[in-house]
Amino acid sequence: MSVQGSRSESSAGKKDMTWIWVLVFFLVLCLCLSLVLGGTAVYLFMVRPSGGVPLPPAQDVPMPPVVPTEARPAPPEPTAMPLEPLPETLDIEFYRPSEADDYYALIDYVPDYEGQTAPGEMVWQLELNSRETVVVDTGWCTIDAETLEQNYEHIQFSFMADDLPVDMEQIFTYDQELSDRICRIHSGIVRAWPPGDHVITITMSILQPINDGWDDYPAGDYTDIFIITATP
């Protein structure tokens, strides 16, 4: 055997051993990667909420202590509005009725009030509070509008408050039509009363006999006298 041939065989043996070690290293590397990937998958499965070992219960987080605040002072009680002083004299004012109003009329305080069918005086007594607002009104009704106009050619109304005449310009006059009649109303109002006794006199003067469509009324004065006691 020549010396050159012996070296060739030695080199060939070394090359074969090198490929074996490369193969072994590759297999070991693949095994390590497989272990790492498998461990990661197992960890993710174990910790996910829908499976594996249940998550530990959430711990209560202690709240910071509540620092008491100063109590707010109670709001002041509403102060009662002072009442307006009562009038010193009786005054019947102009009054235009409204559906929103719910005042009583003077005759509402007289349960047995009746209209007169003949000339004369009727006296009515009543008591009320000095701060009661009261409508003071009167009127005349007929069967239709034509009869009302004919009657009013012979009718006059007058008001007196504590023996003083009331200017009829400050008494509101309006017509009110109902299902079976038409009326002409003369309306005033007393907003407040001086304490004590008062007299309101309402007179309808018929200058000559008239008929309202139902009954005859002779000429003369038809007077209602209201004696009112007002208490504060």
pLDDT of residue 7: 38
Per-residue burial over 93-124, b if 16 or more Cβ lie within 10 Å, else e, is: eebeeeeeeeeeebbebeeeeeeeeeeeeeeb
pLDDT of residue 84: 86
What are the 10-residue block averages of pLDDT along the chain, 232 residues in total?
Answer: 39 54 65 62 52 53 59 65 88 95 95 94 97 97 98 98 95 96 98 97 98 98 98 94
Residue pair 189/101 in contact (Cβ under 8 Å)? The answer is: no
Give dist(CA 137, CA 133) in Å, integer: 13
Tokens representing 187 are: 């309306």
pTM of the model: 0.65
The DSSP bridge pattern shows strands 196-206 and 220-231 to be: antiparallel
Given the candidates 1.20.120.160, 3.30.70.330, 2.60.40.10, 2.60.120.590, the CATH classification of the domain at 93-231 is 2.60.40.10
pLDDT of residue 71: 61
pLDDT of residue 82: 77
In 31-145, DSSP assigns E strands to: 93-94, 104-105, 120-129, 134-142
